[in-house]
A = this chain, B = another copy of it.
Amino acid sequence: MSDTPDSAVHPVRAYVEQHRAAFLDDLAAWLRIPSVSAQPEHAADVRRSAEWLAETLGDTGFPVAEVWETAGDGGPAVFAEWPSGDPDAPVVLVYGHHDVQPAVREDGWDTDPFAPVVRGNRLYARGAADDKGQVFFHTLGVRAHLAATGRTAPAVHLKLLVEGEEESGSAHFRALVEEHRERLAAGVVIVSDTGMWSETTPTVCTGMRGVADCEIELTGPDQDIHSGAFGGAVPNPATAAARLVAALHDEQERVTVPGFYDDVAELTDAERALIAELPFDEATWLRTARSYAASGEAGYSTLERVWARPTAEVNGIGGGYQGPGGKTIVPASARLKLSFRLVAGQDPDKIETAVREWVAGQVPPGIRHEIVFGAPTRPCLTPLDHPALRSVVRSMSAAFDGAKIRFTREGGSGPAADLQDVLAAPVLFLGISVPSDGWHAPNEKVELDLLLKGAEAAAHLWSDLPDALRRPADQTYPTQ
């Protein structure tokens, strides 16, 4: 990858600047399609969005651009492919989604969420950042890559998979990936559906937590019974549920399920130092979390807790009488919804087994229990010394005028892990959204400067990656 001295505009940037207006016009046309996958009345819009994208990718130059149906009533996905001229080129699969969260003007939007508008240096519309904007910068990026390198085909074998049901739970995504496993095969997956620390702190995400969730039903008496006649002399399933929850953590807020931490990829001192470099402000973070205290596993900072440590969380609890006033009963049953965030190294199946055994050992005599697990999502983590990650970092730095690129992780879990699983390829993240973009909120926007930097970073990445992957991995952390 070439240096970008201040004295000259890099050809990538020159191309991007030159095509900025047309690029934004096209993106605006896409944003006008209300592809809300969670609302059946928008099913036709989701399809229209997929068809629009497939056609546009074809116009961009992708020789293959197809709409893929998903199982059930899931919104269709788009697949596109642009083979490299070089048979030894690495195969890269870019992931994003073209469906969006619901939005109506009355939610608090200043303008129609599906009538994109530029105010200042921002483009406002549902999907501007999550995720149409971040998918679409790849169309500009690949063209800039070709223009800057003089190639007629990308230096990587480029594939795109743009999902149509991410905002409604990706229920059929894994099946889709499994069905098309061979056509999707890639050496590297690039997910463009995340963000950066902030406008002034460019970062690359290196991983997401996985999640295993379960529902536990605890049953005591055959029906609600009188707490006067029987209270204090029979086990109460609501008490049993509460005791299970209380026993889930020790006084250090560590999860007590035996073996829970056995396979956890512990943070190295170097990784902790990188996290500590970020300009984290607890008060600001708490405002974002709409919470009134930070707490959690002893010995870890807030960012370490949400990014790199596994958790056990109560998502819901219910039992007995919940209406107005009181009702003096020993309830017949209680229910718990628990979810366990998992980090690299942890195997959801092993965690499920451990939780089942632990629960069975906790439930007291006279209480029966049933536990049902949902489909898990595995964690994914890019090793900091992975050559592809070093390439992403160099590309981001080039787009950000040589800025130091720092590292984040995502505490959440996503379908990216399915790609990692099924394709057995490392997942990397290339995203330029910032916390103020308002994902899922009214007045969602994207910063236009950052959007174009996304295109630049992609253009640099397709140039940088082939060489990077040919070099042997080293064991040091990336330098820039």
Contact = CB atoms under 8 A, between A and B. Distances in A.
A120 B289 CA distance: 70
A227 B313 contact: yes
29 contacts: A213-B326, A213-B328, A225-B290, A227-B341, A228-B410, A230-B291, A231-B311, A231-B411, A232-B297, A232-B305, A232-B310, A232-B311, A232-B341, A233-B294, A234-B286, A234-B294, A241-B317, A242-B243, A242-B317, A292-B366, A293-B366, A295-B365, A316-B322, A317-B320, A320-B337, A321-B337, A322-B335, A326-B374, A328-B413
Given A243-B246, A368-B292, A320 B316 contact: yes
Contacts of A221: 289-292
Contacts of A246: 239, 242-243, 245-247
A325 interface: yes
A105 B328 CA distance: 27
A77 to B, nearest CB: 23
A36 to B, nearest CB: 19
Contacts of A232: 296-297, 305-306, 309-311, 313, 341, 411
A235 interface: yes
A222 interface: yes
A328 B337 CA distance: 9
Contacts of A410: 228
Given A220-B292, A227-B315, A315-B328, 12 more contacts: A211-B328, A225-B289, A225-B290, A227-B339, A229-B411, A235-B291, A239-B249, A239-B313, A246-B246, A315-B326, A318-B318, A327-B337
A443 interface: no
Interface residues of A, number: 79
Contact of A314 (B291, B331, B337): B331
A306 B412 contact: no
B366 A220 contact: no
B321 A315 contact: yes
B295 A230 contact: no
Q: Which of A241, A293, A314 has the most CB of B within 10 A?
A: A314
Interface of A: 209, 211, 213, 215, 220-223, 225-236, 238-239, 241-249, 286, 289-297, 302, 305-306, 309-311, 313-322, 325-331, 334-335, 337, 339, 341, 364-368, 374, 410-413
Contacts of A241: 242, 317
A61 B211 CA distance: 77
A330 B315 CA distance: 6
A313 to B, nearest CB: 4
B233 A305 contact: yes
Contacts of A329: 315
A39 to B, nearest CB: 18
A317 B315 contact: no
Nearest to A314: B238
Q: Which of A235, A286, A326 has the most CB of B within 10 A?
A: A326
